[in-house]
Amino acid sequence: MRVPFINLKAQYEGLRGEMEEAIKEVLESQRFILGPKVRALEEALAHYIGVKEAIGVASGTDALVLSLMALGVGEGDEVITTPFTFFATAGAIMRVGARPVFVDIDPRTYNLDPSLLEERITPRAKVILPVHLFGQCADMGPILEVAERHGLKVVEDAAQAMGADYTVDSSPRRAGSMGHLGCFSFYPTKNLGGAGDGGLVVTGEEELAERVRLLRVHGAKRKYEHELVGINSRLDELQAAVLLAKLPHLEEWTAKRIAKAHRYDELFAEADHEALGIGLPVVEYRNRHVFHQYVIRVPHRDALRSHLQEVGVETEVYYPLPLHLQPCLQSLGYREGDFPQAEKAAREVLALPIHPELTAEEQEYVVEQIVQFLSEKPRWASPC
C-alpha cells in the first residue's frame, strides 16, 4: 500500500468548482494587488482568530519579519525563541538584525519551556517569540506573565496552528490572538494553504496593524510618500481568492485531523506502544491541538523511516537539526549540548501522515508497519 504524507490533489478534487470560480473572478476583474479578496479574507480571518486586525502578507516568513519591524526590533536587540522550529523563526530575527536567544523545549509538547525563560532575559531582550509547533499552542499563560513582568513584547509564530486554542481563565483563546502580534503562513501544506506563498499578521492593537499595513507597501500611506522604510510584501488577490474558497472547510478539516490523531492514539495503544518505546503526542489540558503534524518519538528512528519508505509509507522528520546547530547560525556561539531536549527530539521525532483525506485503512497500515518493525528489533538493531 502507498500512503502519501499529504494529499493535496484529493483535497482539490472536492473543491475544484469553488476554487476555479474564485480564480476566474480575479482574472475577470484584473485586480491582482490588495483588492476586495484580500480585504474579505483579512476580515474573515480576523473574525475566525478573534482579533481586531488582520493583514495579508506575502509569506509566513514575512509575517514574522514585518511583526518584528513593526515593533522596532533591530540591531543590538535580542529575541527569545525556541531552537526546535522551522528555520524561518530564527531567520526572521536575523533578517531584522537582531539576535535569536534560544530556550530549550518542554519534551512533552516540543514547545518552548516557560520555566527556562526568565534566566535567558537580558537588558537587550525586546521580544519573546514562542512557536505553536505541530498545531499545539505553547504554554502562553506563563510566557505572557514573564513578558509582562519584564516589559517584553510577544510575537506568536502560529504558522502551524491556524484554529488551535489555548484556554486562559477558562476561556479559549485562538492561536495568534494572545501576544501583541500573531503570524500565520498559507504555504500550501499548512492547515489553511494557498496555491503558492502567503501569510498573515494579526493584532489587537490598531497602531501596530497600521504599521504592518504601511511596512508591507514600502511604508507609503499615500502613493510615493514614504513614512517608513518597509518592504514589498503583499498577499496576492489570487491567493486570497483561493484561501477564501477553502476557509469554509477549515473547521471540518481540523475536526478530521483531530479524529485521525485520536485513531492513531487508539491503534498505538492497542499495540502496546510503550513496550516498543513509542512516545505519542501529548495534548496539554489547556489546548485544542489542530494536528498540523502527528509526531511520535521512536527508537532507531532513521532505520524505521527507511523501512517505512520501502513499504510505501511516507514520513518526515521535523526537525533533524535544531537551529542552534545550523551552519549559518554558528556566529551566535551555541554548541552541541546547550539544549539537550531539542537535540534529543531532533534524534527521535517522526511525523506520520495526518491530512484530512487519510483513510482508516491507510492509518491501520502505517501503525502495523511501525509496530511490526519495532517488534522485530533484534533482527536489525545494532548491538548496544
The single residue among 26, 131, 212, 244 that binds ligand PLP, judged by CB under 6 A, is: 131
181 φ, ψ to 5°?
Answer: -140, 150
Toward ligand PLP, which CB reaches closer, 103 or 374? 103
- The piece of 155-163, 203-211, 238-246, 352-360 that touches ligand PLP (CB under 6 A) is 155-163
Is residue 161 close enough to count as binding ligand PLP by CB under 6 A? Answer: no
The DSSP secondary structure of 56-83, one letter per residue, reads EES-HHHHHHHHHHHTT--TT-EEEE-S
The single residue among 84, 86, 134, 264 that binds ligand PLP, judged by CB under 6 A, is: 86
Is residue 60 close enough to count as binding ligand PLP by CB under 6 A? Answer: yes
**Residues in Cβ contact with 66 at an 8 Å cutoff, skipping those fewer than 6 apart:** 55, 57, 201, 212, 215, 216, 230, 231, 233
Is residue 369 close enough to count as binding ligand PLP by CB under 6 A? Answer: no
Provide the 10 A C-beta neighbour count for residue 246: 22
Is residue 160 close enough to count as binding ligand PLP by CB under 6 A? Answer: yes
Which alpha helices (H) appear in the chain, and where do they start and end?
8-29, 36-49, 60-70, 88-95, 140-150, 206-215, 237-246, 250-270, 301-310, 340-348, 360-375, 377-380
The single residue among 59, 67, 136, 363 that binds ligand PLP, judged by CB under 6 A, is: 59
The single residue among 19, 61, 134, 268 that binds ligand PLP, judged by CB under 6 A, is: 61
- The piece of 9-17, 39-47, 81-89, 146-154 that touches ligand PLP (CB under 6 A) is 81-89
Element (H, E) at 211: helix 206-215
Output DSSP code: residue 215. Answer: H
Toward ligand PLP, which CB reaches closer, 61 or 203? 61
Is residue 185 close enough to count as binding ligand PLP by CB under 6 A? Answer: yes
Q: How many CA atoms lie within 13 A of 127 on its CB side?
A: 34
321 φ, ψ to 5°?
Answer: -130, 115
The single residue among 84, 187, 268, 319 that binds ligand PLP, judged by CB under 6 A, is: 187
Output DSSP code: residue 220. Answer: E
Is residue 88 close enough to count as binding ligand PLP by CB under 6 A? Answer: yes
Output DSSP code: residue 316. Answer: B
The single residue among 104, 139, 157, 357 that binds ligand PLP, judged by CB under 6 A, is: 157
- Considering only residues 190 through 249, tell me which ones interact with ligand PLP, judged by CB under 6 A: 197, 199
Chain contacts with ligand PLP (rule: CB under 6 A): 59-61, 85-86, 88-89, 131, 157, 159-160, 185, 187, 197, 199
